[in-house]
């Protein structure tokens, strides 16, 4: 029988991080919610195997596996879209309408560039830059050597620099 108190203590603090990862991988809010729900069920089932100090990376690993299983059941990862991530990235507090429009355009360009990255590069970039995991933690989550994490991060960043979506931002000087 699963230990609900242990689940609450170890997994629930990382629910937002799990949803964030699922959202960027799936590129759809509803699909991400499905992935996280499945991940929580799995985490509850295997909660006794988690080490307290590794709970975050352990849960993100569960989320990642749940996402890949979900893709296998539903559709290829290349067909998943998320237009809501763009809206969530926009600064709603901007006073100047022109500045708000520029920020919205920049946020959309960045979200489009991230979405265009191949999944193996997008996932390490999200785990490093948004979830602030160490290289070692990312290596555990995606089950590759640390050197591969470093290589994928470097290639992901290079792809972003060369992306047509972000070239517009750099050419306009924003």
For each successive 10 residues of the chain (174 residues), what is the average pLDDT?
Answer: 82 94 91 96 90 88 94 65 44 51 64 85 92 94 95 92 63 50
Domain boundary among 77, 97, 121: 77
Same domain, 89 and 168: yes
Q: Are residues 122 and 143 in the same domain?
A: yes
Is 19 within 8 Å of 116 (Cβ atoms)? no
Q: Are residues 93 and 48 in the same domain?
A: no
Q: What is the pLDDT of residue 88?
A: 46
Q: Identify the domain boundary among 77, 110, 133.
A: 77
The pLDDT of residue 23 is 93
Residue 52: its pLDDT value, please? 78
Domain boundary among 46, 77, 108: 77
pLDDT of 161 reads: 84
Number of domains in the chain: 2
Res 170: pLDDT: 47
pLDDT of residue 4: 86
92, 20: one domain: no
Rounded distance, CA 128 to CA 36, Å?
A: 19
| 103 and 155 belong to one structural domain | yes
Q: Are residues 71 and 91 in the same domain?
A: no
Q: Are residues 92 and 162 in the same domain?
A: yes
pLDDT at 138: 95
Q: How far is CA 66 from CA 19, 22, 59, 115, 162, in A?
A: 12, 9, 10, 19, 31
Q: What are phi and psi of 90, to 5 degrees?
A: -85, 140
CA distance 32 to 23: 5
CATH number at residue 92: 1.10.10.10
Q: What is the domain extent for residue 62?
A: 4-77
CB 2 within 8 A of CB 45: yes
37 with 111, same domain? no
Q: What is the pLDDT of residue 81?
A: 47
Residue 60, pLDDT score: 95
């Amino acid at each position: 029988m699963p230990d609900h108190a242990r689940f609450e203590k170890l997994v629930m603090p990382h629910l937002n991080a799990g949803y964030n990862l699922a959202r960027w991988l799936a590129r759809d809010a509803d699909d991400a919610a499905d992935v996280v729900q499945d991940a929580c069920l799995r985490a509850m089932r295997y909660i006794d195997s988690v080490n307290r100090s590794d709970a975050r990376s352990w849960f993100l690993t569960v989320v990642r596996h749940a996402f890949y299983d979900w893709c296998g059941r539903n559709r290829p990862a290349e067909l998943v879209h998320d237009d809501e991530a763009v809206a969530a990235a926009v600064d709603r507090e901007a006073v100047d309408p022109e500045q708000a429009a520029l920020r919205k355009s920049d946020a959309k360009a960045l979200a489009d560039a991230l979405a265009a990255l191949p999944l193996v590069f997008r996932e390490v970039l999200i785990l490093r830059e948004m979830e602030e995991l160490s290289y070692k933690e990312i290596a555990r989550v995606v089950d590759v050597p640390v050197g591969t994490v470093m290589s994928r991060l470097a290639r992901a960043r290079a792809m972003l620099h060369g992306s047509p979506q972000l070239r517009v931002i750099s050419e306009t000087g924003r």
